[in-house]
């Protein structure tokens, strides 16, 4: 199992500095979810979205398989009194794979592989600023096995519950070393349908990884790094058979996650809004995603360390996409996401009391294309 998961990670070629992220978390997986601003707590995004709310798998109609690729292109910079350096991490391709099956009127199950998180830079060829020579990369992928039960035949019609065991394989590369880790977690979900509205709730446990020498706090001591626990609330409103609007709120607990809390990261609130309009064989989608700053209140050393090594500063994402129904030949979905950090700046005083300005940017663009076949 370890070798198989490691092969998936290598195949995924996750470019961590390029991920369109909330903190280090990808705003969404699958083209449909990404085109709609990263919503997915109350909106079923198909077989490929196995790491979303597991209760949503109850909405699968029969059987479906999904596979997709995402192309990322980042633009990451750091500037201080020494001038500006640009991270040299290039574009990359990242896949997602999923399967969903309706067992009967009440139960559904699935399995999927998703790349879900990351952050990093490559300043190894730079030499102007304090970022010179820094090279970091965090890669996280998960295999999720969602199971859902719909209480349609009981007195609580409209209620569905879900659970998804999670196998996580991650790798961290820094100037201190390269380490990988296999760990486990669980996602819990619930949905409730009321006429043309679906309410959703999801909770994802924190998953802690030990990277040995590769992960150190600011004092140089080894520390673990936890993928933070996540709480999500969602609302999906079908205005008509053709038009749907969805809204998600997510709370990513970086403030209590080991490793991130050592660098002064704050827990993050994320707001996502998306819309879809269907026209026979064509679907159009648009969305917006905003995440609060993860370094508000961090110390000078913590802020500069984040700016240089893990600039998870992308605040706003603008998304657009669509889908084309090939009828018996499946469905093709595509999404384009542009993320902006709005240039984070920080001013501190040096030993002589003089103000020093540092600045970091992390702007990103990505294109995702998925294919889904139902049978």
* Residue ranges covered by each domain of the chain: 2-374
For the CA atoms of 52, 57, 59, 64, the dihedral, rounded to the nearest 10 degrees, stands at: 100
Segment (H or E) for 306: helix 300-309
The pLDDT score that the predictor gives to residue 10 is 42
Which of 211-220, 234-243, 246-255, 321-330 comes out lowest in average pLDDT? 211-220
The pLDDT of residue 155: 67
For residue 350, what are the contacts with CB-CB under 8 A and spacing of at least 6?
Answer: 356
This prediction's pTM = 0.91
Give the fold, CATH level 3, of 2-374.
Answer: Porin (2.40.160)
Tens of pLDDT, residue by residue over 265-303, are 999 999 999 999 999 999 999 999 999 999 888 899 999
Residue % of the chain over a pLDDT of 70: 93
Please give the Cα distance from 231 to 250 (Å, whole number). 6
Contact present, 59 and 194 (Cβ < 8 Å)? no
Is 258 in contact with 225 (CB distance < 8 Å)? Answer: yes
pLDDT tens track for 4-43: 444 443 444 333 444 457 888 889 989 999 999 999 999 9
């Amino acid at each position: 199992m370890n070798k198989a998961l490691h092969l998936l990670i290598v195949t995924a070629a996750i470019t961590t500095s390029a991920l369109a992220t909330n903190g280090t978390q990808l705003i969404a997986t699958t083209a449909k979810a990404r085109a709609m601003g990263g919503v997915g707590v109350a909106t079923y995004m198909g077989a490929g979205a196995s790491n979303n709310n597991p209760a949503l798998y109850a909405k699968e109609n029969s059987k479906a398989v999904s596979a997709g690729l995402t192309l990322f292109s980042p633009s990451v910079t750091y500037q201080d009194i020494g001038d500006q350096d640009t991270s040299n991490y290039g574009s990359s391709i990242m896949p997602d794979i999923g399967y969903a099956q309706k067992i009967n009127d009440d139960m559904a199950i699935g399995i999927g592989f998703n790349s879900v998180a990351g952050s990093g830079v490559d300043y190894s060829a730079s030499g102007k600023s304090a970022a010179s020579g820094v090279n970091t990369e965090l890669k996280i992928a998960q295999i999720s096995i969602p199971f859902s039960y719909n209480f349609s035949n009981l007195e609580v019609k409209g209620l569905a519950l879900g659970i998804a065991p999670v196998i996580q394989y991650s790798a961290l590369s820094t100037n201190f070393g390269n380490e990988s880790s296999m760990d486990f977690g669980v996602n819990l979900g619930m949905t409730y349908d009321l006429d043309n509205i679906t309410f959703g709730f999801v909770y994802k446990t924190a998953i802690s990884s030990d990277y040995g020498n590769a992960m150190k706090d600011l004092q140089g001591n080894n520390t673990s790094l936890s993928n933070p626990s996540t709480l999500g609330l969602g609302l999906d409103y079908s205005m008509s058979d053709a038009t749907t609007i969805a809204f998600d709120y997510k709370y990513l607990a970086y403030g209590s996650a080991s490793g991130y809390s050592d660098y002064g990261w704050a827990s993050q609130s994320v707001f996502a809004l998306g819309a879809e309009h269907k026209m026979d064989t064509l679907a159009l989608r648009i969305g917006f995603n905003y995440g609060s700053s993860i370094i508000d209140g961090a110390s000078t050393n913590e802020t500069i360390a984040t700016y240089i090594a893990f600039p998870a500063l992308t605040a706003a994402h603008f998304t657009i996409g669509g889908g084309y129904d090939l009828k018996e030949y499946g469905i093709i979905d595509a999404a384009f996401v542009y993320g902006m950090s709005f240039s984070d700046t920080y001013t501190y005083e040096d030993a002589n009391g003089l103000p020093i300005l540092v600045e970091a940017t992390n702007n990103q663009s990505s294109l995702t294309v998925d294919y889904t076949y139902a049978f």
